[in-house]
Amino acid sequence: MDFDMGPDAAALRTELRALVKSHVPDDYLGAFTDDPADLEVAQNFCHELADRGLLCMSWPTEFGGRASSPWEQTVVREEMWAHHEPRGAQYMGVNWVGPIIMRFGTEEQQRTHLPPIAAGEVIWCQGFSEPEAGSDLASLRTTAVRDGDGWRINGQKIWTSYATMAHWCFLLARTSKLGEGAARKKQHGLSIFLVPMSAPGITVRPIRTMMGPHHLNEVFFDDLRVTDADLLGTVDDGWTIVQNVLAFERVGIARYARCERLLQLAPGALGDRWADLPAELRGRWARMLTYCRRARLMAYRIVALQSTGQVRPTDSAAYRIAVTKLDQDSAEVLMEITAALPDQESRHFRAEVEDHWRYSQASTVSSGSIEMQRILLARTLLAAS
């Protein structure tokens, strides 16, 4: 399979790798570590990309982009994830918050939110999952109740990435109870609000995990006051927006690029010890490289469908299953390979592999659990048979 995108894409990859090399420390493992300097690196790198017109390449020019092809944006996505995402949390705004606001937002919302995202100046978090509404998202309990000319929001969100540093929250809440008006199913009666995290009534509590600080948080909303200007789209039709979000989000993270880069580095990291590895382990390593190409091909198929507006939830679900399995299986293979390294050799490669392994454990449930993706895919296939 030939994945060559042509000379322009190759030149863009070369430019991006040179920027990473010159602006990102060699031992960088992501923005959200115990060292605040890592977040500063990511924010500065975002500004550098934005100044060069590389942060939101595929966005329309009127929104701060370059109207480039989705394939050029795919190159950016791959190179960033291959190098531990030096854009930090900006990928969220670039990959789906911005495009969703372009599709469903008012002109005022577009003027307010799109330029700061394109300039790399704002961090978003996603207020979807709740303690009893993770995989079954439509069962959420956070409510937005009419209060004069606005809304009053009460409830709790959990597993909210980047909430401690986010400027805005893309918040899903129930605006109509089941049985009221057109809310005949639990997917009905939900709405999206664009909420400033500095607003009174919002409390964030970090959840410590093995992935380090800043990643996961609880967020509490106590009589949070918002206005109709904060409502995205139509009241009670938030589920339509959620489906669009998930289609963008699940393919927007090029996990296969990081897997492939680490797998390709493994022989060089081991040097002469590579030949001493069990043949079975080297065979699994080769199989993982094949699976990287499979996940890449599935991602490219969805990118092509996105450009025509024909992405179905099942397309994203199939990709999500494949890339999650790749994430975890490649991490296990790489951990076994690094076990052959002496403690004092290839320390950064070992650190990269361990970081990859930690993230792979969470990938089973992030952006919708893999079990739910399988159920969605199975129901669709059975309905078509």
The catalytic residues are 249
Judged by DSSP in three states, 182 sits in coil
From the list 271, 363, 366, the residue with the least C-alpha distance to 326 is 363
Tokens, residue 168: 């805005």
Look at phi and psi of residue 302 and say left if phi exceeds 0, alpha if psi is from -120 to 50, else beta: alpha
> Which residues lie closer than 8 Å to 40 by C-beta, 6 or more apart?
none
CA 223, distance to chain mean position in Å, is: 29
DSSP 104-160: H--HHHHHHHHHHHHTT---EEEE--BTTBSSSGGG---EEEEETTEEEEEEEE-S-
CB of 177 closer than 8 Å to CB of 183: yes
- What is the bridge-based pairing of β-strands 168-174 and 124-127? parallel
Tokens 């900006």 belong to 90
CB of 125 closer than 8 Å to CB of 169: yes
Tokens, residue 41: 């690196």
